Amino acid sequence: MEVARLAGVSPSTVSRILNGTAKVSDDKRLAVLAAIASTNFAPNPMAQGLKKGRSMTIGIVVQDISSPFFDETLRGVDDGLAGTGFASVIVSGHWNEEEETDRIRLLLARKVDGIILLSGRLSDAAVLRFSTQRPIVSTGRDLHTRNALGFKLDNEHGAMLAMRHLIELGHRRIAFVTGPRHNNDADERLAGYKRALHEADIALDPKLIVEGDFHEAGGLLAISHLFESQQQFTAIFAANDLSAYGVRLCLYRKGIRVPDDISLIGFDDLPGSSYTTPPLTTIRQPLYDMGRIATHALLRLINGETADSAIPPLELVVRETTRRVR
Amino acid sequence: MEVARLAGVSPSTVSRILNGTAKVSDDKRLAVLAAIASTNFAPNPMAQGLKKGRSMTIGIVVQDISSPFFDETLRGVDDGLAGTGFASVIVSGHWNEEEETDRIRLLLARKVDGIILLSGRLSDAAVLRFSTQRPIVSTGRDLHTRNALGFKLDNEHGAMLAMRHLIELGHRRIAFVTGPRHNNDADERLAGYKRALHEADIALDPKLIVEGDFHEAGGLLAISHLFESQQQFTAIFAANDLSAYGVRLCLYRKGIRVPDDISLIGFDDLPGSSYTTPPLTTIRQPLYDMGRIATHALLRLINGETADSAIPPLELVVRETTRRVR
DNA sequence: CTGTTAGCGCCTTCAC
DNA sequence: GTGAAGGCGCTAACAG
């Protein structure tokens, strides 16, 4: 080492000072520190990693890097990582099981010290399998092993919260815009929709359930179809906020007022939802907190500690797209 | 190497096959490939990096990981990196010069092979200084050295596009919501606002210029203030889309119709802007393309090749928030 | 064509 | 308390 030479000590001593591995006399310590400062030396992480088997990097798997849904969580991860010395490599699975598998393999090949999996299509079994190589925490699943931890929100309950709100406002004919097929969260929200109807003794009308895709375009299309099929309804529950935005636009195009003519409720509470016109009533997911909490948990798993999977619950945020039916 | 032993060859031969560095007889190649498959071996990137002085990682500096503005660009970067073998480490500067400097240092310490800097507060001089260590490409600046390349859009021109559109529609009293102080893009857009007014022989009324912060809340506040000060105007030009969303909400709260009573135009064309109510007329920034193009350029710089800094121009996207003044 | 050798930068014994 | 030696996994140069 350059620094060692400059300070007139051996490389080992420099290493000891950098890592606090052993006691070093004050004079040498000072000399080394000075040499480090003058060289502005920093240890090479690749060499460290090679030696210690730790890359000080964690992998994050999102599904879409430009979706506000994931980005809010990423912000939590980012803050959770601050000051820990860990950096993160973010990859996208694009809601595609194969791609997701591929990306995780890639992260593992890069020797990340742990993985945060946000949503996705992977089976729990697959996640468990990967977790034998590195600790994994994941949102949207129930997992509790030494190396894998899941953070699951009660989507069905959240959907019931939304429905009860609508029902309390006197709505009976409530349309539901689903998420994409085979999506867990989407399925559970649909279940909540049905259960709330049942709970309130309102007959389920399958015609009021239309298929969306968790995106604006899908929401818009879904509701257009509903109008074409001449259904009557006074409220719409969209399986996520993005769909609700699309629904909102469809309503605007038809000259239907929200909430005067039709009430609308979403799910997620994306950052933009307090600035839609009018601001959207929705079910709040603690996206940022989930990011932070999942990160802390992963760090604990990496250190061989245990972690729990408690997260804040879903809650109803009443804004201005819902009102009492006339 | 495990694999080498298994295949009965030397580690170098394995390396040669993996890298295609030299010709290897077919039988050995087959044996090695088989051994690799059975072990599902993958070379350790840290060892490779240590040896070759390349980490196959690039650093991305954004200002806010959860802003749709940056995320759209990140998507371009992500796609640009696909299949190149490079991974990316994303860090946030939070619009803070010190933090930005710090993060770049961190990336450099991690031995990234290059850096993509998205916007930010750093001086060109600082960027140039960093670029002596690793190639850097940056959006929002004019830079053309062997190791640093800037991608700059003509914000002033973009603002003029917006203003001319409004002026052609007959607007004369046009309010402007600025971006944050000391922000280059924001300043240039303001310049474009003024220049377009001048070009059209419309007297500049400083009272119509109100300060925003590039966020929704700032836009909302700015226009509230404007109303309080009793100004008359028929159109609002917001320095970015996020501000425009805030403006839109303020107008909604006051019962002012868009575009019937007041026209509104933004700047950026964020993905959400085609789904606001009504869809927002704005100036389109080629965010995704910038991400892709900047990435390709960086890859070229990393390989010691030259790259140019051509990007698609800003363009007006007319949607439904502007109309002819009555 | 292929094995041997050396070294990337660091950390961790192991001696002194 | 501190230096010397060895090795993490890989590849490039050097022999053959």
DSSP B214: S
Instruction: Supply the pLDDT for residue B196.
Output: 98
Instruction: Supply the pLDDT for residue B22.
Output: 83
Q: Does residue B216 belong to the interface with chain A, where contact is any CB pair within 8 Å?
A: yes
Q: List pLDDT tens digits, range B210-269.
A: 999 999 999 999 999 999 999 999 999 999 999 999 999 999 999 999 999 999 999 999
Give the DSSP H/E element, type plus range, for residue A59.
Answer: strand A57-62
**Distance from C-alpha of B266 to C-alpha of B285, rounded to nearest angstrom:** 11
pLDDT at B4 over 90: no
Q: Residue B114's CB: how many other CB atoms inside 10 A? A: 25
- Give A142-148 contacts, CB < 8 A, sequence gap 24+: A144/A309, A146/A301, A146/A306, A147/A301
Six-digit token pair at A94? 């694009």
Return the residue matching tokens 């599902």: B40
Q: Residue A85's CB: how many other CB atoms inside 10 A? A: 10
Return the residue matching tokens 């040499």: A35
Instruction: Supply the pLDDT for residue B242.
Output: 98
Q: List pLDDT tens digits, range B177-187.
A: 999 999 999 99
Residue A179 pLDDT level (bands cut at 50, 70, 90): very high
Residue A129 pLDDT level (bands cut at 50, 70, 90): very high
Q: Where are the alpha helices (DSSP H) in chain B?
A: 2-7, 11-19, 26-39, 45-52, 68-81, 97-109, 124-130, 155-168, 184-199, 216-228, 241-253, 287-302
Numbered ranges of CATH 3.40.50.2300 in chain B = 56-153+287-312, 155-284
What is the pTM assigned to this prediction? 0.94
Mutate to test the interface with A, among B18, B62, B63, B65 (most CBs of A within 10 A): B65
Give me Rg for the CA atoms of chain A: 25
Instruction: Supply the pLDDT for residue A127.
Output: 97
| CATH 3.40.50.150, applies to B56-153+287-312 | no
Residue B113 pLDDT level (bands cut at 50, 70, 90): very high
Of B87, B111, B279, the CB nearest to A89: B87
**Distance from C-alpha of A251 to C-alpha of A235, rounded to nearest angstrom:** 11
Domain A155-284, CATH: 3.40.50.2300
Choose the weakest-confidence range: A13-27, A169-183, B60-74.
Answer: A13-27
Phi, psi of B282 (to 5 degrees): -160, 180
**Distance from C-alpha of B291 to C-alpha of B312, rounded to nearest angstrom:** 12
Q: Does residue A42 belong to the interface with chain B, where contact is any CB pair within 8 Å?
A: yes
Six-digit token pair at A288? 């940022």
Residue B275 pLDDT level (bands cut at 50, 70, 90): very high
Summary mean pLDDT of chain A? 95
Q: Do B249 and A87 touch (CB under 8 A)?
A: no
Of B44, B71, B275, the CB nearest to A245: B275
Residue A3 pLDDT level (bands cut at 50, 70, 90): confident
pLDDT at A2 over 80: no
Q: Does residue B271 belong to the interface with chain A, where contact is any CB pair within 8 Å?
A: yes
Helix (H, G, I), strand (E, B) or coil at B16: helix
Residue B92 pLDDT level (bands cut at 50, 70, 90): very high
Q: Is the dihedral of CA A61, A66, A70, A75 positive or negative?
A: positive
Query: In this structure, is the CB of residue A56 within 7 Å of any atom belonging to strand C?
Result: no
Please answer whether residues B265 and B238 qualify as being in contact, where contact means their C-beta atoms are separated by less than 8 angstroms: yes
Mutate to test the interface with A, among B36, B40, B44, B46 (most CBs of A within 10 A): B46
The percent of residues in chain A predicted with pLDDT above 70, rounded, is: 100
pLDDT at B11 over 80: yes
Phi, psi of A210 (to 5 degrees): -125, 150
Interface of A with B in 228-267 (CB under 8 A): 245-246, 248-249, 252
The percent of residues in chain A predicted with pLDDT above 90, rounded, is: 89
Across the range B75-97, mean pLDDT stands at 96
pLDDT at B1 over 80: no
Return the residue matching tokens 């973009």: B158
Query: In this structure, is the CB of residue B28 within 7 Å of any atom belonging to strand C?
Result: yes
Please answer whether residues B138 and B117 qualify as being in contact, where contact means their C-beta atoms are separated by less than 8 angstroms: yes
Instruction: Supply the pLDDT for residue A262.
Output: 98
pLDDT at B2 over 80: no
